[in-house]
Structure 1
Amino acid sequence: MTTYYTKDDIIAKAKEIAHMIANTEEVEFFKKAEAQINENQFVREKIASLKTLQKQAVNFQHLGKERALNMIEGKIGGIEQEIDEIPVVQQFKQSQMDVNDLLQLVSNAIANAVTNEIIESTGGDLLRGETGSKVQNSTPGSCS
């Protein structure tokens, strides 16, 4: 007999998986890297300068001051490059990518498992990735 699950059952499991992900080495490293960035005076000052320049850029863009905007955008690019070269920022960005990779891995695993279950439950062909109804309708001699 087939067991059916409700959306609430699925959300409960999703929360359980979210809790598991939140307690991985990848997320722990991300939290530590973020804390190091927040504690780093140099990084904080650079980010504050960057935010000020970004506000100026928005104002210059709004006022149509192209030369001033280009100059500010150059400064923004320079500060972004300085920030990106700081080892703790590089570690933070790498940890972000690692967490995103983990989330993508989980998402793909769920999608693939659902697809495979559908194919198997309909008597389909996993190698072809076809459900049972498609396999039955594509056999030679059918009225397609």
Structure 2
Amino acid sequence: MTVVYTREEIRLKAKELAKMMAETEEVDFFKRAEKQLNEHLRVQELIAQIKKLQKEAVNLQHYGKSEALKEVEAKIDGLHTEIDEIPLVQEFKSSQLEVNDLLQMVSNTISKTVTEEIITSMGGDVLKGTTTKSPYFDGGCQ
């Protein structure tokens, strides 16, 4: 007998999985790094300078002052470079990538498993990605 789940049951399981993911080492490190960044005075000063220059850039662009705009954009780029050279920022960006990798892995696993379950349940060949019972399904849930 095949079990049929409702959207609500799946949503609840997804929330449960999300809570599990929120308690991984990767997410814990990310949260700590973000907290440290928020408390890092130099980083906050640089961010404030960038925001101020971005507003200035919008005004310069609006008034068609292209040379002044290029200068402001160069300053913004320099501040971004300065921020990126701070080790804490590098750690934060690295942890951000790890959390994104975790999310992508879960998404890919779900997609692949759903596709394989559909193919198998329809008597198909998982390796070929084809079913034998439906001329319309080509293994395309991914």
TM above 0.5, yes or no, is yes
Counterpart of 1:24 in structure 2 is 24
CA drift of 1:121 comes to 0.1
CA drift of 1:62 comes to 1.2
Counterpart of 2:15 in structure 1 is 15
Distance 1:41 1:54 in 2: 20
Q: What residue ranges of structure 2 are gaps of 5+ in the alignment? A: 136-142
Q: For each residue in 1:32-81, what CA deviation from the matched residue of structure 2 results, as whole angstroms up to 9, or x when unmatched?
A: 10011111111110110011011111111111110111000000000000
Counterpart of 2:116 in structure 1 is 116
**Contact persistence 1:34–1:92 (CA under 8 A):** yes
CA RMSD of aligned residues (A): 1.0
User: What fraction of aligned residue pairs are identical, expressed as a percent?
Assistant: 59
Counterpart of 1:140 in structure 2 is none
Q: For each residue in 1:97-128, what CA deviation from the matched residue of structure 2 results, as whole angstroms up to 9, or x when unmatched?
A: 00000000000000000000000000000110
Distance 1:134 1:6 in 2: 24
Distance 1:52 1:78 in 2: 14
Aligned residue type for 1:116: E
Distance 2:131 2:93 in 1: 41
Counterpart of 1:131 in structure 2 is 131
Counterpart of 1:88 in structure 2 is 88
**Contact persistence 1:33–1:88 (CA under 8 A):** yes
Q: What residue ranges of structure 1 are gaps of 5+ in the alignment? A: 136-144
Counterpart of 1:106 in structure 2 is 106
Distance 1:108 1:62 in 2: 43
Aligned residue type for 2:133: S
Normalising to structure 2: TM-score of the pair?
0.92
Aligned residue type for 1:43: V
Aligned residue type for 2:23: N
Counterpart of 1:139 in structure 2 is none
Normalising to structure 1: TM-score of the pair?
0.91
**Contact persistence 1:30–1:92 (CA under 8 A):** yes
For the pair shown, the structure with the greater C-alpha radius of gyration is 1
Distance 2:21 2:68 in 1: 45
**Contact persistence 1:37–1:89 (CA under 8 A):** yes
